[in-house]
């Protein structure tokens, strides 16, 4: 990689705040501003403000946009109501996961697909290729949006203080939002925040209530400042990618490249529920159907390794790729993500473990941490679930 990393519209803001920056999927992103543990705790108890402008937005429009997405993705996208969002995946013909996605239905014939930064080009290319024969347009909108997220229990109040009672639609055909209380989890509607036109989505990757705000890049610095000011009394702090990772890990949310890969089908990842075999597709069977049916049958006949949670008894931290071992020392799985959990006060990990050792409470499970077998308790995911 000789290319200079890309910088978001908020780059100067991050530098002024003294952020520790890191290369992430070709982007120069804030890793943390101060202590990542403090940022994590702020999101769990108050609110955190994230720059997620590296995420890849792809707009799909046209009379057969829904048909295209039903063909291209494993979810039932035609069944998503306008103003709602859906977590889904795009698989290859072999059933391997190319990326996990959130798809927002902006209008009857307009969707926004949000891909992980590292996979945005792969998803764009796949959707473009799969659009052949459909009366639909796939548009690369990565440069059209900056993305800010406000996450945490105080996020509703902060957003409300910056939102008018009524706002004009940003996207033709989208319903205007009148009241943030009315915006459900996994919904996204156009509105304005601090006078900035935004697609306001009640989604996130932290396990907390929160919002993701898709705005024009030119508007991002002013919106960041307005959110910072509005959230000051509520304890909102800027948050980097480091705490985003520990937050999603505690919430048991998979991360592409760790729990999800092209070598993994949704069934191997314990996420078979996202595959909607029963959906009616108006453009042929969705890509990967045959392979995914086989993967489902395989999973039912002989359970594959299961994705489980591990909680440390000691303090050494498991890292991705470390072997999980059974009572006799034999390898029974592999850690996919691990970190000290600020909420639990102990190291935790997600790991794929042989089904025989995957039940919560299974005795004798350990993680090989650089040669030492550290005892770990097998638990069901997630580690943390917010009280509603």
Partner 1 sequence: MNNPQQLRYSKEHEWLSAAEEGVSTIGITEHAANALGDVVFVQLPEVGATVTAGETCGELESTKSVSDLYSPVDGEVTEINEDVVTDPSLVNTAPFEGGWLFKVKVSGEPDDLLSADEYTAFTG
Tell me the binding residues for substrate.
212
Rounded Cα–Cα distance for residues 117 and 100 (Å): 11
Stretch that binds partner 1, among 1-9, 126-134, 175-183, 311-319 (CB under 8 A): 311-319
> Helices 65-72 & 120-130, crossing angle to 10 degrees?
120
309 vs 318 by CB, closer to partner 1: 318
Rounded Cα–Cα distance for residues 211 and 86 (Å): 15
Rounded Cα–Cα distance for residues 242 and 35 (Å): 10
Site residues for partner 1, 243-282, by CB under 8 A, read: 246
Site string for partner 1, 203-242 (x = CB under 8 A): ---------------------------------------x
State in angstroms the smallest separation of the CB of 213 from partner 1: 27
58 vs 249 by CB, closer to partner 1: 249
Site string for partner 1, 329-368 (x = CB under 8 A): ----------xx------x---------------------
Residue 317 in contact with partner 1, rule: CB under 8 A = yes
Stretch that binds partner 1, among 73-81, 255-263, 265-273, 315-323 (CB under 8 A): 315-323
State in angstroms the smallest separation of the CB of 314 from partner 1: 8
Q: Which residues pair with 343 in a beta bridge?
A: none
Residue 373 in contact with partner 1, rule: CB under 8 A = no
State in angstroms the smallest separation of the CB of 378 from partner 1: 21
Among 14, 32, 86, 305, binds partner 1 (CB under 8 A): 32
State in angstroms the smallest separation of the CB of 240 from partner 1: 10
Among 37, 216, 258, 296, binds partner 1 (CB under 8 A): 37
* Cα separations in angstroms, 184 against 180, 187, 203, 210, 287: 8, 5, 9, 11, 30
166 vs 315 by CB, closer to partner 1: 315
State in angstroms the smallest separation of the CB of 319 from partner 1: 7
Sign of CA dihedral 169, 170, 175, 181: negative
Nearest to 352 by CA among 267, 244, 228: 267
SS3 annotation, 310-374: EEECCCCCCCCCCEEECCCCCEEEEEEEEEEECCCCEEEEEEEECHHHCCCCCCCCEEEECCEEE
> 331 with 304: CB under 8 angstroms?
no
32 vs 306 by CB, closer to partner 1: 32
Strands 137-140 and 56-61: antiparallel
Stretch that binds partner 1, among 29-37, 71-79, 154-162, 164-172 (CB under 8 A): 29-37
210 contacts: CB under 8 Å, gap ≥ 6? 47, 149, 150, 151, 152, 155, 202, 203, 204
Rounded Cα–Cα distance for residues 305 and 171 (Å): 44
Tokens of 360: 């919560």
Among 12, 35, 125, 277, binds partner 1 (CB under 8 A): 35
> 199 with 106: CB under 8 angstroms?
yes
Residue 20 in contact with partner 1, rule: CB under 8 A = yes
Which residues here bind partner 1, judged by CB under 8 A? 20, 31-32, 35-37, 242, 246, 315-317, 319, 339-340, 347, 370
């Amino acid at each position: 990689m000789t290319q200079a990393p890309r910088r978001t519209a908020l780059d100067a803001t991050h530098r002024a705040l003294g952020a520790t920056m890191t290369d992430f999927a070709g982007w120069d992103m804030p890793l943390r501003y101060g202590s990542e543990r403090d940022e994590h705790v702020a999101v769990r108890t108050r609110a955190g403000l994230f720059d997620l402008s590296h995420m890849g937005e792809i707009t799909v429009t046209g009379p057969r946009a829904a048909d295209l997405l039903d063909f291209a993705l494993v979810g039932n996208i035609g069944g998503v109501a306008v103003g709602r969002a859906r977590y889904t995946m795009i698989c290859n013909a072999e059933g391997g996961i190319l990326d996990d996605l959130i798809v927002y239905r902006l209008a009857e014939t307009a969707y926004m697909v949000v891909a992980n930064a590292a996979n945005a080009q792969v998803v764009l290319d796949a959707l473009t290729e799969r659009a052949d024969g459909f009366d639909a347009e796939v548009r690369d909108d990565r440069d059209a949006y900056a993305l800010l997220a406000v996450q945490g229990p105080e996020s509703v109040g902060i957003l409300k203080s910056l939102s008018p009672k009524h706002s004009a639609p940003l996207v033709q055909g989208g319903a205007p939002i009148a009241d943030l209380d009315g915006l459900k989890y996994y919904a996204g509607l156009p509105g304005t925040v601090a006078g900035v036109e935004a697609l306001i989505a009640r989604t996130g990757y932290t396990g907390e209530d929160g919002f993701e705000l898709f705005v024009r890049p030119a508007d991002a610095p002013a919106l960041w400042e307005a959110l910072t000011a509005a959230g000051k009394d509520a304890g909102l702090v800027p948050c980097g990618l480091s705490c985003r990772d520990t937050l999603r890990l505690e919430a048991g949310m998979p991360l592409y490249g760790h729990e999800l890969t092209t070598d993994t089908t949704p069934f191997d990842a314990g996420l078979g529920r996202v595959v909607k075999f029963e959906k009616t597709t108006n453009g042929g069977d969705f890509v990967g159907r045959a392979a995914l049916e086989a993967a489902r049958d395989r999973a039912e006949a002989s359970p594959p390794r299961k994705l489980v949670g591990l909680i440390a008894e000691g303090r050494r931290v498991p890292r991705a790729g470390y072997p999980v071992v059974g009572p006799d020392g034999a390898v029974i799985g592999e850690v996919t993500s691990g970190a000290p959990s600020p909420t639990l006060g102990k190291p935790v990990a997600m790991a794929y473990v042989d089904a025989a050792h995957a039940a919560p409470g299974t005795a004798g499970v350990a993680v090989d941490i650089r040669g030492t077998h550290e005892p770990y308790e097998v638990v069901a995911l997630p580690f943390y679930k917010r009280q509603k």
